[in-house]
Structure 1
Amino acid sequence: MGKVIFVGKTGVGKTTLIQNLRNETIIYKKTQAAEFYGQYIDTPGEYIENPRFYSALITLSFDADVVALVQDVTSEECYFPPGFGDMFNVKVIGIMTKVDQKMHRFEKTEQYLIEAGAESVYGVSACTNEGMDDLIAELNSVI
Structure 2
Amino acid sequence: MLILCFHFKCSSSICNCLHAIPIFIFYEISPITQTCGNTNAAYGIYTTIHLLGLATSIPAILMVFFGYLAYRNIHMTRNLNRQDADRQLMRMTLFQVLLNIVCIVPYGINNLYSLVTSGVSKGADRLQLEYFISTILTLLTYGYFTVC
| TM interval, short-chain normalised | under 0.3
Q: TM-score, normalised by structure 2?
A: 0.22
Task: Decide which structure has greater strand share.
Answer: 1
Question: Which is higher, the Rg of structure 1 or of structure 2?
Answer: 2
